[in-house]
Amino acid sequence: MLFSEIAGQDDILSKNQEAIKEYLKKSIKDKNISHGYIFEGAKGIGKLNMAVFFAKSLLCRDFDKEPCNICSSCIKINSMNHPDLHIISSEDKSIKREAIDDLIVSVYQKPYESDRKIYIINNSEDMTMQAANTFLKTLEEPAGNTTIILLTQNCNLLIPTIVSRCQIIKFEKINNEQIINYIKNKFNLDLKTARLIAYYSQGVLYNAEKIATNQNDILKRREEIIKIFDRILIHDKNAIFEYETYFEDNKDKIDEITEILMIWLRDVYFKKHEIDDLIINIDFVDLLEKHAKSLERQKIDELIKYLQNVKYDMKSNVNYKLIIDNMLMLISG
């Protein structure tokens, strides 16, 4: 991970993130810095970017409102090469005990060249219980000027004793208009495409950039999914078996697929109630009209509820084929 990859998001911070930035800078000015922080927010929303900015500000030798960007400390952080900034990420879906053990050892060592050491733990909800417990001890007896920043998508997944010892900072999503303007200009898109992408990004700039870079992928998948939905909806039972393979082949894309289906169902609902302004898939309006006629409101609600659970079921290791079969049966039923 290079700083340059995440630094580009600086120019489109949401109001919430601007406020977080101001708050963190003020805490440095007031010398009111906690030992532990939790940055909570969606994947790709900019938590790591903000944590690195905070670390840079804390370590800067000439901090005044902003990090100076020219001192040796700022330069080392910009090249992700500062001996007192440690970034720990999960591997194989869990943060290894060894990584935390290394952290403990280094916590009790003096900083190399600053008066402070900073630890950023990315995806901290992936810490094993053992790692989390070891880590908790560090938070209970903070040695010297150590600041630990835990990044997580959901702080309910962290053990409560850790949460209670940290300051929680919540990252809210960026509004759609900001994302639309940003990607429209950056990728030279027409308004319709920018709107579509912004909606699929769910308020996360990183997602929007990713989709915009591979826009044909998601637009192509959207068309596939809508057509599958249409075929199953007209009670083509054969299609169910045929599409099992499609879903098996795209297992790693299931989040995106359920998202596309949910947005489609939402559009069907809006079409049904003639709220055309809110429709996203405006280029498929004929099909929307057809589905709006054939789907009852209760059925739409039922399907959306099922799709919301798919994500959860996937995480709790419910049999994938079963999830998909039930979903397809529900659409056709």
Per CB under 5 A, the list member of 38, 48, 50, 74 interacting with Zn ion is 74
Query: Least separation, in Å, of the C-beta of 23 and Zn ion?
Result: 20
Residue 256, both tokens: 């995106």
Query: Least separation, in Å, of the C-beta of 149 and Zn ion?
Result: 19
Residue 44, by phi and psi: left (phi above 0), alpha (psi -120 to 50) or beta? left
Query: Least separation, in Å, of the C-beta of 274 and Zn ion?
Result: 57
* Interface with Zn ion: number of residues (CB under 5 A): 5
Nearest Cα residue to 213 out of 181, 249, 188: 188
Site for Zn ion in 175-214 (CB under 5 A): none
- 190-194: long-range contacts at Cβ-Cβ below 8 A with a sequence spacing of 24 or more? 192/282, 192/283, 193/219
Residue placing its CB nearer to Zn ion in the complex, 114 or 258: 114
Residue placing its CB nearer to Zn ion in the complex, 6 or 60: 60
Query: Least separation, in Å, of the C-beta of 33 and Zn ion?
Result: 17
Residue 268, both tokens: 């069907």
Under a CB-based contact definition with an 8 Å cutoff, are residues 182 and 221 in contact? no
Residue placing its CB nearer to Zn ion in the complex, 62 or 255: 62
Per CB under 5 A, the list member of 71, 254, 262, 304 interacting with Zn ion is 71
Residue 317, by phi and psi: left (phi above 0), alpha (psi -120 to 50) or beta? left
Under a CB-based contact definition with an 8 Å cutoff, are residues 88 and 122 in contact? yes
Query: Least separation, in Å, of the C-beta of 62 and Zn ion?
Result: 5
Contact region for Zn ion (CB under 5 A) — 17-25, 74-82, 109-117, 202-210? 74-82
Query: Least separation, in Å, of the C-beta of 113 and Zn ion?
Result: 13
Contact region for Zn ion (CB under 5 A) — 6-14, 53-61, 126-134, 284-292? 53-61
297-315 and 320-332 helices, crossing angle to 10°: 180
Per CB under 5 A, the list member of 6, 13, 52, 60 interacting with Zn ion is 60
Residue placing its CB nearer to Zn ion in the complex, 71 or 159: 71
Query: Least separation, in Å, of the C-beta of 76 and Zn ion?
Result: 10
Q: Are strands 117-121 and 85-88 parallel, antiparallel or unpaired?
A: parallel
Question: Which DSSP letter does residue 26 get?
Answer: H
Residue 68 in contact with Zn ion, rule: CB under 5 A: yes
Under a CB-based contact definition with an 8 Å cutoff, are residues 71 and 184 in contact? no
Pinpoint the alpha helices (H) of the chain: 3-7, 15-29, 47-59, 72-78, 97-107, 129-140, 160-164, 176-186, 191-201, 205-213, 215-233, 237-249, 254-272, 285-294, 297-315, 320-332
Residue placing its CB nearer to Zn ion in the complex, 67 or 203: 67
Query: Least separation, in Å, of the C-beta of 59 and Zn ion?
Result: 8
The contact mask relative to Zn ion for 3-42 (x = CB under 5 A, - = no) is ----------------------------------------
Distance CA 198, CA 221 (A): 16
Residue placing its CB nearer to Zn ion in the complex, 74 or 88: 74
Residue placing its CB nearer to Zn ion in the complex, 61 or 305: 61
Q: Which residues bind Zn ion (CB under 5 A)?
A: 60, 67-68, 71, 74
